[in-house]
Chain A
Amino acid sequence: MTVLNLFRRTPKTELPELTEVLDSLGDAVLVFNSRLQINYVNACWKTLTGYTHKEATDTCFSDYIHPEDLKNWIDITRQVSRGGDSQYLWFRLIRKDSEVRWCEIRLQPLRAGQPFPLTATLCDITPQVRDDEISKASHRSLSGLVNRIPGMIYRGRNDTRWTMEYVSEGCKELTGYGRDQLLNQTQLSIGGLIHPNDASRVWETVQRALQQHRCFELYYQLLHADGQFRQVYEKGQGIYSSTGAVLGVEGIILNISPPSD
């Protein structure tokens, strides 16, 4: 008997208090009542928002949410209290110092089958969102730059039709055709637009440059959608695998015809 009792007692004394566990977490933990007021917050709440647990208790959680995200918050609280499933939301939390933090909140009912109270974990995702915004901005700025270039930047396959994987918006000005018409199309290809007199010279020049892993420079005539041939200049190079196999070609084509007026 004594042996058994000893076994029973040992784990009890070693387990920390539940509040201690909650306060040690790196995410905020919250409990909401049926009016969506805060009943409980752990220690991380203070770090995240700047408000103490005393200031937060009995306040409405919506007071901490950015006005533009309020509707989403109301929507998920309705879904959770009706459906009972856990839901999550990315929103902007307004700190005590008025700074904005991006947070992810996961919301669920405390007990299955009862709409309230609700429990939630709140996690600061500001660094991820900022990184995401930076990469989006850099992509936006780069694609803006590429598409505004007065010429056509391309990446295509090394076949006689020069079928394209990517062309910049400049293709419209140069060929009269939109990007959708030129990309991966069987009927229309850049190869088909090259003047018949120039086609074989273009092919040979590119193949020679590819063999020598050099850039190629070309002057030839390209058929515009309006039926006129335009004098163009092209500079490009091969794309190679590490073993030296040709994967495709990329470069830029510029219109060098004298202006019509």
Chain B
Amino acid sequence: MAVSIPLWMHNFPQFLREQPAKQKEIVCAPALTQLVVDLACSEDIRLSLEQALNRLQSYISFHLEAELYLMGVPTPQRDLLLHASTVTPPIGLAGQLRYQLTEHYISDANELRYKLPGTALSVHALQLRFDDVNPAGWMVLCFKERLPDSKQINQISEPIAEALTGGLSGWYRQQSRISAAITSEKAAHAAELHDSMAQILGYMRIKASRLADQCKRQSEPELAAISEDLCHQAQCAYRQTRELIACSRLSIEQGQLVDAISQAISEFEQRSSVVFELDNRVGAQLITEDDSQAIFIIREALNNIVRHSHASHARVQLLRQNDDSIRIRVEDNGKGICADQARQDSFGMKIMQERAERIHASLFILPRTQGGTRIDLVIPGACHSQNNSMTQTQSEY
């Protein structure tokens, strides 16, 4: 039973040597609370997540010898694979995870473990959830060789997952509150504009047009010119106010463009006999500089089809270009833009052009070779290439 002093002396430094490792574990606990706060109060969520990952990666490397990634987090860049700056993700990992976790995942699975096809890498993915319904993305641990068993991994990773979920959920609630506040503020403005300005301008527009008519009839060329100009300006002011009102009522959340397009289509098909077709080849994730501007242009185009085109068919295509830009094409088989109508609608077209410029997109309004009109909205770098990785995964399958 007695322990010799030399043996005790030998063991004592070893005991000391183990200490730092344990300390690291203890240090991590308060850091997690800080992480929740940092994320919840974040101004740039992507930056904050990357900073958090930088801190967490060393802990994960130490305990599990794995690389830590985040995927599908509901930020503006949902599709992005987030990781610490010290980590270089293997080629094709982003595409593979995106395919497996965000596009084709099984909704009731919280944990996914599999070997990446064609590599020595194994993946342990844990789904983060705000609540029973809303997913908050995936925390992915990527192992170079052996995949440790689930229990061992979760012991280390679960507190981290909880902290990330907590932080993200706080941030998400905050963002929702901000966007709800903006929307209600815009709606209030719209109501005020509608009640006061638009009604007065509407009245002025009618009176000015009557005045112009009378001046023309009484052959007063000078007055006629002035009153015509007045009439035109009143018309413009009225249209501009209506546009402002429409725009404040039409605010969509960033990232909801594809949903908003299909909603707009079903709305217009309810109210007309035009057959609409949506050909979406870019997936559900389409993010532009300002989705509200993009949806406004598309709605204006649909509006023109229903009101003026006399078309029986209309098609909206979302196509990915080779240079990573997105082409949104709205075309119809109607009577096309004739000179008369172009003059009448020049205001609408001008506004569409202005809105396109605001999001650095190009707008082309052209006659369709088979008859009708084609409107192409080309949005540069609308979202990063997803198709290539998808095709790659497909062929792997």
A contact residues vs B (CB 8 Å cutoff):
35-37, 60, 62-63, 66-68, 70-71, 74, 92, 94, 98, 100, 130, 133-134, 137-138, 140-142, 144
B390 within 8 A of A: yes
A133 close to B394 (CB less than 8 A): no
A141 to B387, CA, bound (A): 36
Distance (Å) between the CB of B332 and the closest chain A CB? Answer: 13
Q: Are B275 and A68 in contact (CB under 8 A)?
A: no
Indicate whether A63 sits within 8 Å of B279 (C-beta atoms), given known contacts A74-B104, A141-B269, A144-B270. no
B279–A137 touching, CB < 8 Å: no
Residue on B nearest A133 in the bound complex, by CB: B275
Contacts of A66 in B (CB 8 A): 279, 281
Residue of B nearest to A73 (CB): B394
Closest CB pairs A-B (n = 6): A141-B273, A137-B275, A62-B394, A144-B270, A60-B395, A133-B275
Q: Which of chain A's residues have a CB closer than 8 A to the CB of B397?
A: 35-36, 62, 74
- Across the two chains, which residue of chain B brings its CB closest to A70? B394
**Would you call the interface of chain B mostly helix, strand, loop, or mixed?**
mixed
The distance in angstroms between the C-alpha atoms of A144 and B270, with both chains bound, is: 6
A56 → B minimal CB distance (Å)? 14
| Nearest CB on A from B26, distance (A) | 46
Please state if B283 and A137 are interface contacts (CB–CB under 8 Å): no
Most B C-beta atoms less than 10 A away, residue of A66, A100, A140: A140
Is B391 at the interface (CB under 8 A from chain A)?
yes
Cβ of A62 to closest chain B Cβ, rounded Å: 4
In the bound complex, how far is the Cα of B283 from the Cα of A71, in angstroms? 12
Assess whether B270 is in contact with A140, with CB atoms less than 8 Å apart. yes
B275 and A134 contacting across the interface, CB-CB below 8 Å: yes
Contact of A60 among B269, B273, B274, B394 (CB under 8 A): B394
Asked whether, in the complex, the Cβ of B395 is within 8 Å of the Cβ of A144, the reply is no
Decide if B395 touches A35 in the complex (CB within 8 Å): yes
Query: Majority SS of interface residues in chain A?
Result: helix
Q: Which residues of B are found within 8 Å of A60, using beta-carbon distances?
A: 391, 394-395
A35 to B394, alpha carbons, bound, how many Å? 9
Q: Are B273 and A63 in contact (CB under 8 A)?
A: no
The answer for the CA separation of A134 and B387 in the assembled complex, in Å, is 31
User: Does residue B272 face the partner (Cβ distance < 8 Å to A)?
Assistant: yes
Min CB gap B226→A, angstroms: 42
Min distance, Cβ A214 to any Cβ of chain B, angstroms? 32
Decide if B277 is an interface residue (CB 8 Å cutoff): yes
B275-310: CB near A (< 8 Å → 1, else 0) gives 111011111000000000000000000000000000
> Contact partner of A137 among B269, B319, B390, B395, CB < 8 A?
B269
Chain B interface residues toward A at CB < 8 A: 103-104, 269-277, 279-283, 312, 319, 387, 390-391, 394-395, 397
Are A144 and B283 closer than 8 Å at their CB atoms? no
Instruction: Say whether B280 contacts A68, CB under 8 Å.
Output: yes
B280 and A140 contacting across the interface, CB-CB below 8 Å:
no
Distance to closest chain B CB from A69 (angstroms):
11
Closest-by-CB residue of A relative to B282 is: A67
Question: Please, which residues of chain B bring their CB within 8 A of the CB of A144?
Answer: 270-271
User: Taking CB as reference atom, which chain A residue is nearest B270?
Assistant: A144
> Inside 8 A of B276's CB, which chain A residues have their CB?
137
Question: Is A138 touching B280 in the complex (CB atoms < 8 A)?
Answer: no
Residues of B within 8 A of A35 (CB): 395, 397
* CA gap between A82 and B330 in the complex, in Å: 42
In whole angstroms, what is the CA distance A50 to B394 when docked?
Answer: 22
The distance from the CB of A98 to the nearest CB of chain B, in whole angstroms, is: 8
Q: Which of A35, A60, A137: most chain B CB closer than 10 A?
A: A137
Given contacts A62-B391, A100-B279, 19 further A-B contacts (CB under 8 A): A36-B397, A37-B395, A60-B391, A60-B394, A60-B395, A67-B280, A67-B282, A67-B387, A71-B103, A74-B397, A92-B279, A130-B275, A137-B273, A137-B274, A137-B275, A140-B269, A141-B269, A141-B273, A142-B273
Q: Is the CB of A138 within 8 A of B104?
A: no
Residues of B within 8 A of A133 (CB): 275, 277
Q: Which residues of B contact A71 (CB under 8 A)?
A: 103-104
CB-contact partner of B273 in A36, A62, A70, A138, under 8 A:
A138
Which residues of A lie under 8 Å from residue B271 when comparing CB positions? 141, 144
B281 closest partner in A (C-beta): A67
B280 contacts across to A, CB distance below 8 A: 67-68
Q: What residues on A are CB-neighbors of B274 within 8 Å?
A: 137
